[in-house]
Structure 1
């Protein structure tokens, strides 16, 4: 099996040129407001950079704006919180498994963290068990984390229940961290809401929702079923136009409710339906977080 991080980096390198890399670096750094920094080198200015970071003397010599780039004098920690219940083994909007989209999103932010000298850890699990993975540096370590998500997420996994993983983080991680939550669109009950509010008071939280495939658009003759209980959706119902409209409305309402809940708590969030869209989604996530932190 091809290394998962290699796939993530390949997708990133194909899309991201020098300007995009600079913007991604800038957006990631901005998440840690007030971090201690040492001067490193210069790079070309890109939209979103702080004007105060422009080196005006170097800019005059170069002929175009240059900004000072800094490195952290202390390491920060990124904690990936990923649902690996069987709900994430279902198809995403793109037709691939939702865990593959989760790996792409988590892998991209994890790789950015490593580039900045930060540490990355993982908490993953389902309704029956939650498994922590240590916070460390290095691409080999990040590969192991992504591999854990891939191998743990199967149709034989327990039910998806993100509240269990959030509770674990609330009880075991005291140091302030950047927490990336990756899960599907689901209804947030009062218990989960209280945990998210508690975590948000202590950590910097980003949220990625992985979009489900629409079973009402499955090709004629194909089988569609709910991975939660393996219940098959009969073709006569799946292809019914009124049912399709009702399903679309229910999905839209659930997404809107989750979005409003996260907005009310001040948590930046995005939805992503494919691995190919993960880079743009992560960039939007970081950009929104920077703007919110102004």
Structure 2
């Protein structure tokens, strides 16, 4: 069976050159602000590094800017949190199955944690239940987490309900941790907003939304414009000729925009840094932007 983590690392190598991956490492390391650090070594300055981390004396001797790198005195804990309900078996905006994008995003973040010596756990599930896999170190453990997500996010799974997984974390996960949430296009609500504010008071939270497929696929898509469309959520059918109707398309676009705006406002009010991704080819860039915004927000 092919390794999911190996696939993640291969895609990281394709989508980000060595300097960019180094910058991604640096952004991840900045998440736990104020933690106790010990000096590790020096490395060359790259755009995006904090000027305050430049070692000016060493830079003068070397002839070019050098950055001080530090290691955490203690390991930090990253919890990957995702929905494995049947919504994640649907297609994304880029035409891939959403769970493939989820696995890529969780894999990249988990691998960054591994490189920093942090431990990684998983909270996942659907409306039928939530499962926690305790945080551990090592690539074999990270592979197990990715495999669990990939195998459980199927069309046969129960309905998606990320609120249940978030509530589970609020009730059971102690201490201050980093939560990396990868979710569907969730519907904002007062109850969810209150839950997110409660979680944010305890944890650092990063949120990545996997975008839905368009109502009508573009030219050349499988099935063509005459095909009927199905909702993975409730198996409702939208006949192809109705999906192409201008009034229906306009109403759908308006509803989607209102939902997206409400979600953005909810996450912003909770103090959660968030981003969006259409496909796996965008994951590395989206995560870099997400981590950078989180650092600047702090």
TM-score, normalised relative to structure 1: 0.96
Distance 2:271 2:192 in 1: 15
* Corresponding residue number in structure 1 for 2:215: 215
Structure 1 ranges of 4+ moved more than 4 A: none
SS at match of 2:123: strand
Alignment-derived partner of residue 8 in structure 1? 8
Whether 2:239 is the aligned partner of 1:234: answer yes
Structure 2 matches for 1:201-212, cutoff 5 A?
201-212=201-212
**How far 1:277 sits from its partner (Å)?**
0.2
Answer with 231-240 or 14-23: which moved more: 14-23
Hey, what does 1:37 align to over in structure 2?
37
Q: Which runs of 5+ in 2 are unaligned?
A: 219-223
| Total equivalences in the alignment | 293
8 Å Cα contact 1:163-1:191 kept in structure 2: no
Distance in 1 of aligned mates of 2:40 and 2:227: 56
Between stretches 20-29 and 54-63, larger displacement belongs to 54-63
Match of 2:197 in 1: 197
Name the SS of the counterpart of 1:185 in structure 2.
coil
Q: Take 2:217 and 2:250, find their aligned partners in 1: how far apart are those partners?
A: 11
Match of 1:292 in 2: 297
Give yes or no for contact 1:78–1:121 (8 Å, CA) kept in 2: yes
What is residue 221 of structure 2 aligned with on the other side? none
User: How far 1:69 moved relative to its partner?
Assistant: 1.2
1:123-134 superposed matches below 5 A:
123-134=123-134
Write the deviation string for residues 200-239 of structure 1: whole angstroms up to 9, x where unpaired: 0000011000000012236323342001121221012111
Q: Hey, what's the Cα distance between the residues in 1 that align with 2:226 and 2:239?
A: 10
More displaced stretch, 137-146 vs 8-17: 8-17
How large is the RMSD of aligned CA atoms in angstroms?
1.2
Partner of 1:135: 135
1:244 equivalenced with 2:242 (yes/no): no
1:139-188 CA distance string (max 9 Å, x none): 11111101111100001100101111011100111111000111111212
Aligned to 2:62: 62
- Are 2:168 and 1:168 equivalent residues in the alignment? yes
How far the C-alpha of 1:134 sits from its partner, in A, is: 1.1
**Structure 1 unaligned residues grouped into runs of 5+:** none
Contact 2:227 2:239 in 1 (8 A): no
Q: For structure 1, which segment, 52-61 or 215-224, has the greater mean C-alpha deviation from structure 2 after superposition?
A: 215-224
2:114 equivalent to 1:109? no
Q: 1:277 aligned to 2:290?
A: no
| CA distance in structure 2 between the partners assigned to 1:290 and 1:204 by the alignment | 11
TM-score computed with the length of structure 2 as normaliser: 0.95
Alignment partners' CA distance in 2, 1:53 and 1:216: 49
- Distance, in Å, in 2 between the alignment partners of 1:132 and 1:173 is 10
Between 283-292 and 246-255, report the one with greater CA deviation. 246-255
Superposed counterparts of 1:89-100, under 5 Å: 89-100=89-100
Aligned-partner SS, 2:281: coil
Cα distance between partner residues in 1 of 2:52 and 2:164: 43
Partner Cα separation in structure 2 for residue 250 and residue 216 of structure 1: 15
